[in-house]
Chain A
Amino acid sequence: MNLDFGNKYDEFRKEVKAFCKEYEGIHVTSNLYSYESVVDPNVKPKIEMSVKEWQKILIDKGYHARHIPNEYGGFGGELDIVKNVIITEEFSKSKIPTGIGGQGIDFLVPTLLEMGTEEQRQRYIKPALELEEIWCQGYSEPNAGSDLASLQTKGELEGDEWVINGQKIWTSTAKYAQMMFCLVRTEPDAPKHQGISYLLIPMDAPGIEVRPLVDMTLDAGFNEVFFTDVRIPADNIVGERGQGWLVANKTLVHERGSLGDPNKMIRRYDKLVNLMKSEILDGARIIDKPVYRDRLMRIQGKILALKSHGLRLLSGRLNKGQDISLATMIVKLYGTEMRYELESLAIDVMGELGTLYDNSPNLRDNGGWQYAYMYYLGLIIGGGTSQIQKNIIAERGLGMPKEPRIKGV
Chain B
Amino acid sequence: MYFGLSEEQQFFQVSINKFLDDTVTVDSLRSFRDGENENLFEIVYKGLNELGLCGLIIPEKYGGLGLDSLFAISVSESLGRGIAPYPFIGSFLIAPYLIDQLGSDSQKEKYLPGIATGEIRFAVALTEITGRRSETGIQSSNRQLNGKTLFVMDDIESTHYLIVDSDAGIHIVDSNESGLEKIKLSTVDITSFISELILTEVKKEGLGSVSQNEETVKRAIDLGRIAIAADTLGASQCMLNQSIDYSKDRKQFGRPIGSFQAVKHMCAQMASDLEPCHSLVWYAAYSMDYITHESHLMACQTKAHVSEVGAFVAKTATEVHGGMGFTDDLGLHFWFKRIGLNRQLLGSPDLLREEAAEAQGI
CB distance from A165 to the nearest CB of B (A): 34
Measured CB to CB, the closest approach of chain B to A250, in angstroms, equals 23
Indicate if the CB atoms of B261 and A403 lie closer than 8 Å.
Answer: yes
Query: How many A-B pairs with Cβ below 8 Å?
Result: 159
Distance in Å from the Cβ of A227 to the closest Cβ of chain B?
A: 34
Residue pair A305, B271 in contact (C-beta under 8 Å): no
Contacts known (A398-B244, A402-B259); A297 close to B3, Cβ less than 8 A: no
Q: Which one of A3, A287, A308, A319 has the highest number of Cβ atoms from chain B below 10 Å of its Cβ?
A: A308
What residues of B have a CB within 8 angstroms of the CB of A401 in the complex? 248, 255-256, 258-259
In this assembly, does B127 line the interface, its C-beta being within 8 Å of a C-beta of chain A?
no
B267: A residues at CB distance < 8 A: 394, 398, 400
How many residues of chain B have a CB within 8 Å of chain A? Answer: 48
Contact of B305 with A391 in the complex, beta carbons under 8 Å: no
Scan B60-84; emit 1 where CB is below 8 A from any A CB, else 0: 0000000000100000000000000
CB-CB under 8 A from B264, the residues of chain A are 390-391, 394-395, 400
Asked whether A294 and B2 contact (CB < 8 A) given A311-B283, A401-B259, the answer is: no
What's the nearest-Cβ distance from chain B to residue A120, in Å? Answer: 36
| B277: contacting residue among A4, A305, A399, CB under 8 A | A305
Q: Which of A3, A296, A304 contacts B362 (CB 8 A)?
A: A296
Counting CB contacts under 8 A, is B179 at the interface?
A: no
Residue from B6, B244, B264, B362 having most chain A Cβ neighbours under 10 A: B264
B283 and A298 contact, CB distance less than 8 A? no
Q: Chain A residues near B70 (CB, 8 Å)?
A: 1
Given contacts A311-B279, A334-B275, 9 further A-B contacts (CB under 8 A): A273-B362, A293-B353, A311-B283, A315-B3, A326-B275, A330-B272, A334-B272, A394-B268, A403-B259
B interface residue numbers (CB < 8 A to A): 1-6, 70, 244, 247-248, 255-256, 258-261, 263-265, 267-269, 271-273, 275-280, 282-284, 286, 290, 298, 301-302, 304-305, 308, 350, 353-354, 356-357, 362
Interfacial residues, chain A to chain B (CB-CB below 8 A):
1-6, 82, 273, 287, 290, 293-294, 296-298, 300-302, 304-309, 311-312, 314-315, 318-319, 322, 326-327, 330, 333-334, 387, 389-391, 393-395, 397-404
Name 27 A/B residue pairs within 8 A (Cβ), A-sorted. A1-B286, A3-B1, A3-B286, A6-B1, A273-B362, A293-B357, A301-B301, A304-B283, A304-B298, A304-B302, A304-B305, A305-B276, A307-B283, A308-B3, A309-B276, A312-B282, A326-B275, A327-B279, A330-B275, A334-B272, A390-B264, A393-B272, A394-B265, A400-B247, A403-B260, A404-B255, A404-B259
